């Protein structure tokens, strides 16, 4: 592949707005794929980088929920073809380290070591600013660009019928929430499940619990509109934590025991504490939300007792090559609902206002729709 150019939103300094710039994409290396991005959604993880809560080498292109079509293939790539629709995964892994061989690719040694450097696994960047300065890619992706270079394993083919402005959600929020319920918590038929937080991750968790056969799905969120959205996606009981104690509600529904499974998807200390108070003895708590990496959390010790199990999950136990196509088919069949999660469709030039709306709590997912671009 010859050198190409693209348009991307570039973050040059923490706390400052991103700027849409013309960037350069270097030649594809062996195993690389060039993807023309069609849609990319705005996630709180990107916001953490913008605000300096999550380290990333700058300048960088952020964005890790993206979908597009394959535009070119590097040497040795045989499982994909030009024109294939793909959802991008932010968890490339070596497949050979202690954690990969143990079935935990999210803990891949090479992935964790190289992530903060925001470069590919070989340590090299694939992008450059217009002045030649190396340009980094958050989480090996950099989806806020109309073209992106990724390792082939990150580009997962999905059915051609799948709308890409909804497919992009599968790459992070939906995988995390849906997988949190089905793969990590392994919700069982007839269980009582509580989901704390009805953002994109929490709403996906509600659907995962519903499809796994939960008898009751309790959605906890202070926002009435989000509670009603949770109801439309399968929640059977709604709870406003400002007026009702979620733990009391869980016990009232279960003869005093508490919820069998609690999934925290709000990422706030009150939510983490509530998860431990609301789960029954011997029950399962899955923390999907997160706080700043240096923040501290404290709990009433008694809430941690009685054989309760706690798991922190970053990606819902993702197996992207299996899960992304399966979730896409579920959407096409009408069993997994994604349309209502997209609350705005915006241009790349509107990205800073999109993140401001996300911070204000006005958006579940704003999706950048990339204009049809000529081959660069």
Contact 251, 281 (CB under 8 A): no
Q: What is the pLDDT along the chain (376 residues), one digit of tens a residue?
A: 455 889 999 999 999 999 999 999 988 889 999 999 999 999 999 999 999 988 889 999 999 999 999 999 999 999 999 999 999 999 999 999 999 999 999 999 989 988 888 888 888 888 999 888 999 999 999 999 999 999 999 999 999 999 999 999 999 999 999 999 999 999 999 999 999 999 999 999 999 999 999 999 999 999 999 999 999 999 999 999 999 999 999 999 999 999 999 999 999 999 999 999 999 999 999 999 998 888 899 999 999 999 999 999 999 999 999 999 999 999 999 999 999 999 999 999 999 999 999 999 899 999 999 976 444 4
Q: In the chain, which residue ranges form alpha helices assigned H by DSSP?
A: 44-50, 98-101, 109-114, 164-170, 173-179, 200-211, 224-232, 246-252, 269-278, 320-333, 351-359
- Residue ranges per domain, the chain? 4-172+317-369, 177-312
| Domain 177-312 is found in CATH 3.40.50.720 | yes
pTM of the model: 0.93
Look-up of token digits 């309790």 = 218
Q: How many Å is the Cα radius of gyration of the chain?
A: 20
Q: How far apart are the first and last CA of the chain?
A: 11
Measured in degrees and rounded to the nearest 5, phi and psi for residue 211 equal: -70, -20
Q: Which CATH number fits domain 4-172+317-369: 3.90.180.10, 3.40.190.10, 3.90.1010.10, 3.50.50.60?
A: 3.90.180.10
User: Burial of 329 by CB count in 10 Å (0-12 exposed, 13-18 middle, 19+ buried)?
Assistant: middle
Q: What is the pLDDT at residue 292? A: 83
Beta bridge partners of 216: 192
Q: What is the pLDDT at residue 313? A: 96
Contact 227, 221 (CB under 8 A): yes
């Amino acid at each position: 592949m010859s050198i190409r150019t693209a348009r991307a939103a570039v973050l040059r300094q923490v706390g400052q707005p991103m700027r849409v710039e013309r960037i350069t994409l270097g030649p594809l290396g062996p195993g690389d794929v060039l993807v023309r991005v069609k849609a990319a959604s705005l996630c709180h993880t990107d916001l953490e980088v913008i605000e300096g809560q999550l380290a990333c080498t700058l300048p960088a292109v952020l964005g890790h929920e993206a979908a597009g079509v394959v535009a070119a293939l590097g040497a040795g790539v045989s499982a994909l073809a030009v024109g294939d629709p793909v959802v991008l995964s932010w968890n490339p892994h070596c497949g050979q380290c202690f954690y990969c061989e143990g079935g935990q690719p999210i803990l891949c040694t090479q992935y964790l070591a190289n992530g903060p450097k925001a470069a590919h696994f070989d340590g090299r960047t694939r992008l450059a600013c217009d002045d030649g300065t190396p340009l980094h890619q958050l989480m090996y992706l950099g989806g806020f660009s109309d073209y992106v270079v990724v390792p082939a394993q990150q580009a997962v083919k999905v059915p051609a019928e799948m709308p890409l402005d909804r497919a992009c959600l599968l790459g992070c929020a939906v995988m995390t929430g849906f997988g949190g319920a089905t793969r990590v918590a392994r919700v069982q038929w007839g269980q009582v499940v509580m989901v704390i937080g009805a953002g994109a991750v929490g709403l996906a968790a509600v659907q995962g619990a519903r499809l796994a056969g939960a008898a009751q799905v309790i959605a906890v969120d202070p926002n009435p509109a989000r509670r009603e959205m949770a109801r439309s996606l399968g929640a059977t009981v709604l709870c406003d934590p400002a007026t009702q104690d979620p733990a009391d509600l869980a016990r009232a529904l279960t003869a005093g025991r508490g919820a069998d499974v609690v999934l925290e998807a709000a990422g706030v200390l009150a939510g983490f504490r509530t998860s431990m108070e609301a789960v029954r003895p011997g029950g399962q708590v899955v923390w999907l939300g997160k706080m700043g990496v240096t923040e501290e959390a404290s709990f009433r010790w008694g809430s941690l007792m009685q054989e309760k199990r706690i798991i922190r999950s970053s990606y819902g136990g993702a197996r992207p090559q299996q899960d992304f196509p399966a979730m896409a088919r579920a959407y096409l069949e009408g069993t997994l609902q994604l349309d209502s999660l997209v609350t705005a469709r915006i241009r790349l030039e509107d990205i800073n206002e999109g993140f401001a709306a996300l911070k204000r709590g006005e958006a579940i997912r704003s999706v950048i729709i990339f204009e049809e671009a000529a081959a660069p």
